[in-house]
Chains A and B, each alone.
Chain A
Amino acid sequence: MKTTVTILALLFAATGFAAAPAVPACCAVEEKPGAPLSARSIYQLDTPWTNDTGAAVRLAALRGRPVVLALFFAQCEYACPILVRDMQRLRAALPADQRERVQFVLVSFDTARDTPAALKVYRERMVLDAGWTLLRGETTAVQELAMLLGVKFKQDARGQFSHSNLFTILNREGEVVHQQLGLQSDGSDSVTALGRLMP
């Protein structure tokens, strides 16, 4: 029985933030879930997204923990793999006690090809654990999120996307606190920005 519960709990944890993230008692989130979002919270975008397990999620479900978020697309041959590697390096550079508290989120531009199944394949290919959330949404939702983050993107005739290479650090409320622009910078500013968000 106990094992079943544990397995269930693990399953929930594995589906990403659909389940409440396990937060140590020391760091329990102070705000009530129903508290109104701050005026600068990007979680005001109340559009539905789907993760790589096919579950429907809202961005507001990320509330309560620091987030590192980037827009990408799975079939990108040029910069996205480097961008994701940069995020992986950032994660590795975090002190161990901080690493598990930060959620890494990848949102796809490619509304046509990046189905939940395609995102799942991408997760396996890039070896992304439960600390990573992979999302797809409708064109309007992606466009609005890109606008809020200042990400420019354009699909070309071959279906590839030209896009800004940046990732964004959000605080617990979903407010933008830092953006790392460009590829392969050393990432120390991002480590500092995340450190400031820790209790």
Chain B
Amino acid sequence: MHAARHGPVADGVLSPREGTRARGVSRGVGALRLKRGALAALAVFVFASPRVQAESDLPRDAVLVPAGSYAPLIREKDEPERVAVPAFWLDVRPVTNAEFLAFVRANPAWRRSTVSPLFADRGYLGDWAEDLELGPRAPAAAPVVRVSWFAARAFARAQGKRLPTTAEWERAAAAGFSSAVGASEPGFAAQVLAWFTRPTVLPLPHAGAGRPNFFGVRDLFGLVWEWVDDFNTAMVTGESRADTGLERSLFCGAGAAGVRNPSDYAAFMRAGYRSSLRANYAVPNLGFRCAQSP
């Protein structure tokens, strides 16, 4: 029942080292750095194995998510409870390091050493060893993280695709494993929430290894957070104490907004997370996947 098609085959082969400035791991807390050191040793082993190379050569499939609807977490006065979402193609898994490397190689303006700080902050591709070398902390088949919204968008555009909207992403993520309504599946919400309690394992596991949901989409939970095209529509300030009500003087029209379902904790987490982002942020566990209109 699900249509599938193939995206461009990823360039999974690593290039020889190209001279650029190396970056330290100075960001992040000390404990994390120690853990990373141990994991890096393991990663070198995993990364060197031919199996990883083979997996990163897998085509990046997309599935057609049929037309449906989405219930926004925060709804304006007079807005319907559910918003129609037309059918769209969504990548089965997040974009990998190998795929992003191919993009960066073809688009020098998006290399770590040349990108404008307006479009990507200092953490941009911070897990990579060099401008054009992934290294042990960024396995080829793992999802690319520490990419800004601008960079993710440029990648998507280069593939003739785009980033999913909040409505599209949430529409896909509302599906369970066996039905279109995850909330009706026993234990589904608990599984989603369980991810929030687990610390991120570094280096990240392969993208696409997660269990496919009802639409055939994988890794919407449990691997990385993902950019959406309109993440800046989440109207809350960065100041948690100010968020009990939306600040009228900061947001025009904010007085009309009200929350749909306070018990949907995961949706709250995502809305809060999105509202804390800026478009040039490059965050350690934030990646993206592409979408396309049919």
User: A-side interface residues toward B, CB under 8 Å?
Assistant: 39-42, 44, 76, 78-80, 143-144, 146-148, 150-154, 156-158, 160-166, 181-184
Q: Does B278 contact A (CB under 8 A)?
A: yes
Nearest-CB distance from A67 to chain B (Å)?
16
- Chain A residue at smallest Cβ distance from B116: A39
Give the dominant DSSP class at B's interface: loop
Q: Are B116 and A157 in contact (CB under 8 A)?
A: no
Q: Are A39 and B252 in contact (CB under 8 A)?
A: no
Q: Are B234 and A152 in contact (CB under 8 A)?
A: yes
Q: List chain B residues, Cβ under 8 A from A184.
A: 249
Q: Does B58 contact A (CB under 8 A)?
A: no
Q: Are B232 and A146 in contact (CB under 8 A)?
A: yes
Beyond contacts A39-B117, A80-B252, A165-B249: 6 other A-B pairs, Cβ-Cβ < 8 A, are: A41-B118, A42-B118, A44-B119, A152-B275, A156-B79, A165-B252
Q: Does B150 contact A (CB under 8 A)?
A: yes
Query: Which of A41, A80, A147, A153 is close to B279, meaning CB atoms less than 8 Å apart?
Result: A147
Nearest-CB distance from A112 to chain B (Å)?
16
Query: Which of B78, B252, B278, B279 is close to A162, meaning CB atoms less than 8 Å apart?
Result: B252
Q: Are A152 and B233 in contact (CB under 8 A)?
A: yes
Q: Does B235 contact A (CB under 8 A)?
A: yes
Q: Are B251 and A164 in contact (CB under 8 A)?
A: yes
Q: Does B104 contact A (CB under 8 A)?
A: no
Q: Are B279 and A161 in contact (CB under 8 A)?
A: no
Query: Which of B79, B118, B251 is close to A39, meaning CB atoms less than 8 Å apart?
Result: B118
Q: List chain B residues, Cβ under 8 A from A148.
A: 118, 279-280
A153 to B78, CA, bound (A): 18
Nearest-CB distance from B293 to chain A (Å)?
14
